[in-house]
Amino acid sequence: MPTFVVETPRERYPVEVSRGALGSLAAHIPARAGKLFIVTTQDVWNLHAARMQSALGSRAFEVLLFPGGEERKRMASVEALADQMVQLGADRSSLVIAFGGGIAGDLGGFLAAIFMRGIPVIQVPTTLLAQVDAAVGGKTGANLVGGKNLIGAFHQPLAVLIDPDVLTTLPPREYRAGLFEVLKCGVIRSPGLFERMANDSAKVLAMDPAIVEEIIAESVRIKAEVVSADEKEGGLRRILNYGHTIGHALEAETQYKHLLHGEAVAFGMRAVGHLAQLTGVCEAADVRRMNDAISAYGELPSLAGITAGSLVARLGSDKKTIQGKVHFVLAESIGSVVVRSGIEERLIHEATGMALRELAAA
Ligand code: GLY
């Protein structure tokens, strides 16, 4: 299986996608590296400690555990991890291995970005969502009460090691949540990936090994290409936020407790599909195909009590809102998107309400 390369103005690193990728971890640790700190949760460690131990061989390491859950992706967790590192003798030569889902990657990456003003990190994602999105591209951070990922830093890893084998222990709900990010990649840039996801949902859901490898590789290819073209999200990288603006509002509105990130993105993708149609950007038939593909990967937890008004009110605190202008990524067709701002609030309200009503009727 392939290795992709992310190349930014200052960094160049490999993203390996292969069964047993963790086996090459030691080769990515620079000879000058000091203490190794694995940032992970107890759940991930229970499942995958043996793989990590065997990948590191005789090399000593410390395991730093943090409590899982999006609501714990907070500055307080980063500070607690940094305090532990100091107590364990970390210095500027130390290296962080972020091992787990998107939250481990974001927190571990952020810790590495700010510990002693920056030490290296290697990302080893163990959920589909982290493999196809969060672990690649150097975005790190934590949530504030007022919104998701409102503090953070760009901190590119030394390498990203993606092993599809670790997904076999993933709870089905988490796997499905990751599939929505894969679907996103298809909608924004790869009609072939979209078709595969839309036409082969049974095999994808059954974790057919060849298809899982294919969809991960295609998603990573897209992510690596987009990040290499626009590391700091000045332009092209914004397309990766497809479905995220309303998705983030939904996560904040439900206190980060009710939905997995990928599920919130699925809701956001539904809403922006309707918005694209209401604004005349996308044909109804394409919107239907996109929404059918989302439905093929399962319905979301109940959103009873959530209103379009409450979600629209939150859009102002999304970090993609600049000088009061909310930017939306809208599909023109499957595989091609545009970024639009200045959309009338009543249309955003209407599209969000349509998505809410669809889910209530499902
Ligand atoms: N998850 C969106 C990005 O990395 O830009």
Whether 165 and 205 map to the same domain: the answer is: no
Identify whether 117 is a catalytic site residue. Answer: yes
Whether 92 and 138 map to the same domain: the answer is: yes
Query: What percent of the chain has pLDDT above 90?
Result: 88
For the record, the structure tokens of 272 come out as: 């922006």
Mutational pocket test of ligand 1: of 241, 251, 329, 339, the residue with most ligand atoms within 8 Å of the beta carbon? 241
For residues 331 and 320, is the Cβ–Cβ distance under 8 A?
Answer: no
Whether 106 and 238 map to the same domain: the answer is: no
Picking from 348, 346, 344, 330, the residue whose alpha carbon sits closest to that of residue 249 is 348
Whether 314 and 213 map to the same domain: the answer is: yes
Identify whether 92 is a catalytic site residue. Answer: no
pLDDT at 323: 65
Whether 154 and 180 map to the same domain: the answer is: no
| 3-state secondary structure at position 15 | strand
Q: What pTM value is reported for the model?
A: 0.94
pLDDT tens profile 55-78: 999 999 999 999 988 888 999 999
Picking from 348, 4, 19, the residue whose alpha carbon sits closest to that of residue 210 is 19
For the record, the structure tokens of 159 come out as: 């390498």
**Catalytic residue, candidates 48, 176, 237, 270:** 237
The CATH number given to whatever domain includes residue 45 is 3.40.50.1970
Whether 18 and 114 map to the same domain: the answer is: yes
Between these two residues, 148 and 357, which has the higher pLDDT value? Answer: 357
Domain closes at, from 127, 154, 169: 169
Q: Is the CB of 181 under 6 A from ligand 1?
A: no
pLDDT at 62: 98
pLDDT at 320: 64
Identify whether 73 is a catalytic site residue. Answer: no
Parent domain of 40: 3-169
pLDDT tens profile 226-264: 999 999 999 999 999 999 999 999 998 998 888 999 999
For the record, the structure tokens of 55 come out as: 């990948």
Q: Is the CB of 108 under 6 A from ligand 1?
A: no
299 alpha carbon – ligand 1 mean position (Å): 24
Whether 350 and 220 map to the same domain: the answer is: yes
Name the residue at shortest CA distance from atom 2 of ligand 1: 240
Tell me how far apart the alpha carbons of residues 273 and 155 are, in angstroms, rounded to a whole number: 32
Picking from 132, 83, 137, 81, the residue whose alpha carbon sits closest to that of residue 104 is 81
Whether 354 and 217 map to the same domain: the answer is: yes
Whether 196 and 111 map to the same domain: the answer is: no
Domain closes at, from 149, 169, 189: 169
Beta strand residue intervals within the chain, DSSP E:
3-7, 12-17, 36-40, 62-65, 95-100, 121-125, 139-144, 147-154, 159-162, 327-333, 336-341
Assign residue 220 a region (left: φ > 0; alpha: ψ between -120 and 50; beta: otherwise): alpha
Whether 149 and 197 map to the same domain: the answer is: no
pLDDT at 318: 62
- Split into its structural domains, the chain has a count of 2
Tell me how far apart the alpha carbons of residues 248 and 185 are, in angstroms, rounded to a whole number: 18
pLDDT tens profile 259-309: 999 999 999 999 999 999 999 999 999 999 999 999 999 878 999 999 999
Q: Is the CB of 137 under 6 A from ligand 1?
A: yes
239 alpha carbon – ligand 1 mean position (Å): 9
The CATH number given to whatever domain includes residue 191 is 1.20.1090.10
